[in-house]
């Protein structure tokens, strides 16, 4: 229904202990979702046109649809990471558009630049989330129709160069088709996403991790991931090719391996100063 939909209990994964308040664009409209532990379940409240959809999608968001069957950690570092979070699951966000926009803004830039650009996009062109989300300053990513009206000079102010803003404009023109990838198996969804110019292997993986809940969506091409995984499992920093060979026995669960190691803090050593963000754009 439109407006408030609340008080519906959902299963809660045992390792989740934090109250969450999130806003997102959903197929039935915007929603603010609040969830908190309640005994062996979760008490959830949602506001906005997409409230009912958000509540129905909550179990998948918490990882209820994720199937870890067949995942057997073999390396001691991975065994320790899994033992520390045995109930962790890959969540399914259920909105390709909400995952695609930040993923594209993160392409080939520092995290500092990516997060600043996304924050400015929400402030300048996003909308307030329904209910208490809006009162707390929670903003929703602009929908595809709104994003197509953003002029080139506004993108530069974020800053987002033409290489990334052009990808977002192309994606906005086919946004409904991109949402249909949610019904496809992982490899088919990957091919469909990558058929759009500017969405490569890394961006497709980032989208599928967040929107599809794809436990095999390994972040190939990331600046840190291959070095961190090979450091954790081999004791030395190697490239994507070495990572892919190393994770071949975990096919179907390669993102699960990546995320468990990230949560365990087993990243490669960081040496020297952080990479400075680019300064040639107005933002």
- Out of 212, 231, 254, a domain closes at 212
Question: What per-residue string of b and e applies to 105-143 under the rule 16 or more CB within 10 Å gives b?
Answer: bbbebeeebbebbbebbbeebbbbbbbebbeeebbbbbb
Burial class (CB in 10 A: 0-12, 13-18, 19+), 85: middle
Residues 161 and 78 in one domain: no
The list of the chain residues with pLDDT below 70 reads 1-27, 272-283
Its domain, for residue 249, covers: 70-90+215-268
The answer to whether the beta carbons of residues 268 and 222 sit under 8 Å apart is no
**DSSP 8-class letter at 181:** G
Return the C-alpha torsion angle 180, 102, 223, 185, nearest 10: -10
Question: Could you tell me whether strands 127-128 and 29-38 are parallel, antiparallel, or unpaired per DSSP bridges?
Answer: unpaired
- Domain assignment of residue 273, yes or no: no
State how far the Cα of 165 lies from the Cα of 153, in Å rounded to an integer.
Answer: 10
Q: How many domains does the chain have?
A: 3
CA dist., res. 200 & res. 209, Å (int): 14
Same domain, 81 and 153: no
Domain end among 164, 193, 212:
212
Q: How far apart are CA 230 and CA 143, in angstroms?
A: 38
Within 10 angstroms of residue 93's Cβ, the number of other Cβ atoms is 20
pLDDT of residue 19: 43
Residue 125 lies in a domain: yes
- In a shared domain, residues 205 and 105: yes
pLDDT for the residue numbered 27: 64
3-state secondary structure labels for all residues of 157-178: HCCCCHHHHHHHHHHHHCHHHH
> Domain check: are 80 and 139 in the same one?
no
Residue 51 falls within a domain, yes or no?
Answer: yes
Residue that finishes a domain, picked among 171, 197, 212: 212
Same domain, 113 and 157: yes
Closest CA to 99 of 129, 61, 52: 61
Q: What is the pLDDT of residue 3?
A: 30
- pTM summary value: 0.88
Task: Give the integer Cα–Cα distance in Å for 254 and 261.
Answer: 11
Task: Check whether residue 138 and residue 178 sit in a common domain.
Answer: yes
Residues 207, 219, single domain; the answer is: no
Q: Do 103 and 185 share a domain, yes or no?
A: yes
Tell me the C-alpha to C-alpha distance, in Å, between residue 83 and each of 15, 18, 80, 188, 209: 12, 20, 5, 32, 22
Residues 6+ apart with CB under 8 A from 125: 142, 146, 147, 150, 154
Residue 274 inside a domain? The answer is: no
Residue 36, domain member (yes or no): yes
In this structure, the answer to whether residues 27 and 161 fall within a common structural domain is no
pLDDT of residue 6: 33
Domain CATH code at residue 106? 1.10.340.30
What confidence score (pLDDT) does residue 28 get? Answer: 74
172, 37: one domain: no
Displacement of CA 45 from its chain's centroid (Å): 22
- Is the distance from CB of 235 to CB of 204 less than 8 angstroms? no
Query: 176 with 130, same domain?
Result: yes
Whether residues 86 and 179 fall in one domain: no
Q: What does the pLDDT look like over 115-174, one tens digit per residue?
A: 999 999 999 999 999 999 899 999 999 999 999 999 999 999 999 999 999 999 999 999
């Amino acid at each position: 229904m439109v407006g408030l939909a609340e008080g519906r209990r959902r299963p809660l994964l045992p390792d989740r202990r934090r109250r969450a308040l999130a806003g997102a664009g959903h197929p039935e409209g915007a929603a603010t979702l609040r969830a908190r532990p309640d005994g062996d379940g979760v008490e959830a409240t949602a506001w906005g046109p997409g409230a009912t959809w958000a509540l129905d999608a909550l179990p998948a968001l918490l990882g209820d649809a994720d199937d870890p069957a067949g995942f057997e950690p073999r390396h001691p570092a991975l065994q320790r990471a899994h033992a520390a979070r045995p109930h962790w699951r890959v969540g399914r966000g259920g909105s390709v558009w909400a995952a695609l926009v930040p993923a594209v803004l993160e392409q080939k830039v520092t995290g500092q630049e990516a997060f600043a650009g996304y924050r400015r996009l929400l402030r300048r062109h996003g909308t307030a989330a329904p209910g208490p989300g809006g009162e707390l300053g929670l903003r929703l990513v602009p929908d595809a129709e709104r994003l197509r009206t953003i002029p080139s000079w506004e993108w530069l102010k974020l800053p987002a160069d033409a290489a990334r803003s052009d990808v977002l404009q192309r994606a906005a023109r086919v946004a409904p088709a991109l949402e249909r990838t949610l019904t496809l198996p992982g490899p088919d969804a990957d091919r469909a996403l990558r058929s759009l110019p500017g969405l490569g292997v890394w961006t497709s993986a980032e989208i599928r991790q967040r929107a599809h809940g794809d436990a095999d969506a390994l972040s190939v091409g990331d600046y840190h991931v291959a070095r961190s995984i090979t450091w954790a499992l081999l004791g030395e920093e190697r490239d994507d090719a070495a990572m892919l060979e190393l994770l071949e026995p975990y096919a179907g669960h390669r993102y699960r391996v990546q995320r468990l190691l990230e949560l365990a803090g087993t990243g490669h050593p960081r040496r020297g100063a952080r990479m400075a963000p680019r300064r040639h754009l107005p933002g």
